[in-house]
Amino acid sequence: MWMKKQKVLLAVVLFLLVFLIFFLSWKKSEEQTKIYKSADVLMGTNFYGTVYGGKEDVLPELAEQLRRLETEQLSWREETSEIGKLNSVSGQEAGENISADTFGYLKEILEIAKRSNGALDPTIGNISRLWDFGGADEGLPSQEEINALLEKRGYEKLIIDENSIFLPEGMSLDLGAVGKGIGADRAAQFIQSQEGIEGAVIALGGTIALIGSRPDRKPWNLAITNPRGKEGEILGVLKLSGEYFISTSGDYEKFFMVGQKRYHHILNPKTGYPAESGLISVTVVCDSGLKSDGLSTACFVLGLKQGMELLEEYGSEGIFVDEEKNVYITEGLKSLFDLKDLSYKIVE
């Protein structure tokens, strides 16, 4: 009798084992969405792309599109780009050869400039070229040099109508503060137009686009760089489900030291010098790359209080870090951010 019982037991165990194997291999095969990766240098910054799913690797085509966006539209370095052409005809009404896209970008940038009271200013091209952070001529300019160029800036003097743009003579546009964000927007549009892609993460410098979803449907994990950490250290992890654009602006990206003083690349358009708002890093999460990129720069310049107000006006979320290593998080991100470096303190 017990022999029969044992046989039944064995059959059950065998069945369970087979079931387990099938279940685990099914789960594994579900995980095996094809993954395409690329790392490159595009739009003057690091580009990373990870694409989950899709019929073929679309990253080379995306790289080509971003290269064209840079050389044909946004770069002030290229005389033939739309921004290059606008700069070359400063003092005259222009706009005939400007694409609807670029018009749209400029209008949106001007809107952020107005709402931030000039903390983001697309007309500081001459001054950022003088500092040349990360370039061959990087160095501390004299006060006289800066003063001379301060007169040749001012977003309020830039006039954008329906079909025309007027940039006063001698002024120069520089979309450096939002270029990566525009690139991330373009990348998201491109990925969304492709068939069969489940999700993608595209990073261009300090801006990341989260597109679609992870193959396992779990939230995306985004590491935020530790502004005062050693190489590779992170401040914390942000868990986000859905499609978002995230940008960080910090004083640790491009800078040089003169004695004990740090000169970083985020310039206060009003003074022509690196912003000293007490913040060392600002991360912004919102629904567009141009906005997240532009707002993170503007918030960095404005400081904590005004920066928070600006984000509220735009319905965006953010994480601010000040020089005392205090971390301030907007309401919507509080439960999604996990602080890893405990030398920092979250202030409620």
Partner 1 sequence: MKEKKAMIGISIFLCLVFICSLLFLICMYREKGGGNAYACIYQDGILVKTVSLEKEDTFLIEGKNGAYNKISVKNGSIGVTEASCPDFLCGRMGYISKGPIPITCLPNRLVIEIEGEREAGEADGVVY
Name the segment binding partner 1 (CB under 8 A); options: 95-103, 109-117, 207-215, 328-336: 207-215
Contact with partner 1 (CB under 8 A) among 84, 125, 176, 206: 206
CB atoms within 10 A of CB 167: 24
Which CB, 172 or 292, lies closer to partner 1?
292
Site string for partner 1, 40-69 (x = CB under 8 A): xxx-x-xxx-x--------xx--x------
Contact with partner 1 (CB under 8 A) among 33, 38, 65, 330: 38
Which CB, 152 or 180, lies closer to partner 1?
180
Dist. CA 171–CA 3, nearest whole Å = 94
CB atoms within 10 A of CB 132: 13
Q: Looking at the chain, which runs of residues are DSSP E strands? A: 35-42, 45-53, 93-94, 159-160, 165-166, 197-204, 207-212, 220-225, 234-240, 244-250, 255-258, 261-264, 279-286, 317-322, 326-329, 337-339, 345-347
Site string for partner 1, 86-125 (x = CB under 8 A): ----------------------------------------
Q: Does 35 bind partner 1 (CB under 8 A)?
A: no
Dist. CA 313–CA 325, nearest whole Å = 26
Contact with partner 1 (CB under 8 A) among 39, 140, 159, 347: 39
Name the segment binding partner 1 (CB under 8 A); options: 10-18, 257-265, 308-316, 320-328: 10-18
Which CB, 102 or 248, lies closer to partner 1?
248
Q: How far is CA 298 from CA 59, 225, 228, 248, 256, in A?
A: 31, 19, 21, 11, 21
Closest alpha carbon to 187 in 41, 59, 34: 59
The DSSP string of 47-73 is EEEEEEE-SS--HHHHHHHHHHIIIII
CB atoms within 10 A of CB 17: 10
Contact with partner 1 (CB under 8 A) among 185, 253, 293, 317: 253
CB of 70 to partner 1, least distance (A): 12
Range 219-248, binding partner 1 (CB under 8 A): 220-225, 231-234, 237, 246-248
What residues contact 288, with CB distance under 8 A and at least 6 apart? Answer: 181, 185, 245
- Give the three-state DSSP class for 108: helix
Q: How many chain residues bind partner 1 (CB under 8 A)? A: 52
Range 125-154, binding partner 1 (CB under 8 A): 134-136
Which residues make up the interface to partner 1 (CB under 8 A)?
A: 3, 6, 10, 13-14, 17, 20-21, 24, 28, 37-42, 44, 46-48, 50, 59-60, 63, 134-136, 201, 203, 206-208, 210, 214, 220-225, 231-234, 237, 246-248, 250, 253, 283, 340
